[in-house]
Chains A and B, each alone.
Chain A
């Protein structure tokens, strides 16, 4: 098992879990971006990223702003 942070909440997950498999179980909006350790990961790369212990995943969206 490894521990990762997902939008500031900690999750224990199986080792060798890909980003794609982890996100499959999450409800995501239509327009979003994913960063892992503050690096943008394009959607085509999700399956190539194997999550590591202490990885920090963030889901980022557009919100109201001027």
Chain B
């Protein structure tokens, strides 16, 4: 069971809802993945759009826990406004993903603004999951502000390059007293499994599924990768008796 703040989830796979070719594809991928927590962005409605179906008509807040993000915000002020709007859209729902960007090329987080905003949000009753860099000190600071989950990037958003600094992620996990969730950079199923093997409590995936030629099958692949990684983490790695590199038969040596 994944516990984030006052929320509990059976699935450890969090899905983004961007970049899918249609709302139906989004719906089917979410369903196949088994996710219970999905991120959304907050934007002005586009009345000129021909198909005026709204995302939340397809991805019902009655079925999924909706995690509004602050993607596109470059300051604490913008992020605070966005999340107050999100809370109104979702009828008082307070679990949010804080993501304050520093730069349009790297989409790296502005950690100073993120910490400032997290403190403000906490005082306004929000439960904050914070996107951040893989800096263990910043992760610790965010945890101390009261964030309910820390979400370091594995690599750049949308890059699919995997976890570039697993040692830093391990440091973050070792000192954590809230769930650590890899937020960006997952490209392969093995990236997702690797994050879970290390002890991440969950992973958030969007592009790797949405931009696959077969998003539905990829959603299932990621679901199973996350389950496998988590089971591995709970079962723990086998004990290795030989310090040197030698074969060790698994089958009986006698009575052949």
Selected from A7, A33, A65, the residue in CB contact (under 8 A) with B71 is: A65
B40 at the interface (CB under 8 A from A): yes
Contact residues of B: prevailing secondary structure: mixed
In Å, the complex CA distance between A29 and B54 comes to: 7
0/1 per residue, B23-56, Cβ < 8 Å to A? 0001000000000000111111101000010111
Q: B207, A62: Cβ atoms under 8 Å? A: no
Interface residues of B in 93-140 (CB under 8 A from A): none
* Total interface residues in chain B, CB < 8 Å: 37
B166 at the interface (CB under 8 A from A): no
Which of B42, B61, B207 lies at the interface centre, i.e. has the most chain A CB atoms within 10 A of its CB?
A: B42
Q: A63, B40: Cβ atoms under 8 Å? A: yes
Q: B85, A40: Cβ atoms under 8 Å? A: yes
In the complex, 17 of the A-B residue pairs with CB atoms within 8 angstroms, ordered by the A residue number, are A7-B47, A29-B52, A30-B54, A30-B56, A31-B54, A31-B56, A31-B90, A32-B45, A33-B88, A33-B89, A35-B85, A60-B85, A61-B45, A65-B18, A65-B41, A66-B17, A66-B19
